[in-house]
């Protein structure tokens, strides 16, 4: 019976987590500046995560905590004039840069490149994306730290 209760609580918590996710238009509409998620186990309540938004409803900072409530990482986001994430920078618990992701887009707002660099600015990996005339992604290429092509993933669509 305890397993059944535990399973039920788990399912209930999964359903509730989905209800905390907010749409960008709601964030902007209601003037939400931040959302903090906590977990309570017994009598102990700890922070799980904190999201911070700008006046346009864009996520600008995400803070994650470990299971004890200690700071785990902070990720900061920058956007271009088209509302596309162009820079994602992750810091560790000591506020030391872990990795940076820089994105490029084409004129149709499709991500064409994502460059992942380390704290010294050296390439860790790179992703290149290709699209068809309908705007559907058809290829993803993954390059290593030396910019050597490692993987090519092709996507083929079947139509009715």
Share of the chain above pLDDT 90, in %: 77
3-state secondary structure of 54: coil
What tokens were used for 7?
A: 């399973």
Q: How confident is the model at residue 41, as a pLDDT?
A: 87
pLDDT score, position 5: 44
Alpha carbon separation from 152 to 106, 109, 128 (Å, rounded): 20, 22, 9
Alpha carbons 118 and 100: distance in angstroms, whole number: 6
Q: Are strands 44-53 and 59-65 parallel, antiparallel or unpaired?
A: antiparallel
Q: From the CA atom positions of the chain, what is the Rg in Å?
A: 20
Lowest mean pLDDT among 14-23, 30-39, 104-113, 117-126: 14-23
């Amino acid at each position: 019976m305890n397993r059944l209760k535990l399973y039920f609580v788990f399912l209930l918590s999964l359903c509730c987590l989905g209800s905390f996710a907010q749409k960008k238009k709601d964030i902007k509409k209601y003037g939400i500046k931040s959302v903090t998620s906590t977990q309570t186990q017994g009598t102990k309540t700890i922070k799980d995560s904190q999201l911070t938004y700008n006046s346009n409803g864009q996520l600008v900072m995400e803070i994650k905590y470990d299971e004890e409530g200690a700071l785990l990482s902070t990720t900061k986001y920058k956007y271009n004039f088209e509302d596309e994430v162009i820079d994602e920078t992750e810091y560790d618990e000591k506020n030391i840069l872990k990795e940076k992701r820089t994105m490029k887009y084409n004129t149709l707002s499709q991500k064409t490149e994502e460059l992942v660099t380390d704290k010294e600015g050296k390439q860790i990996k790179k992703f290149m994306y290709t699209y068809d005339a309908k705007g559907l992604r058809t290829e993803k290429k993954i390059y290593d730290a030396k910019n050597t092509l490692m993987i090519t993933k092709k996507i083929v669509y079947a139509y009715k």
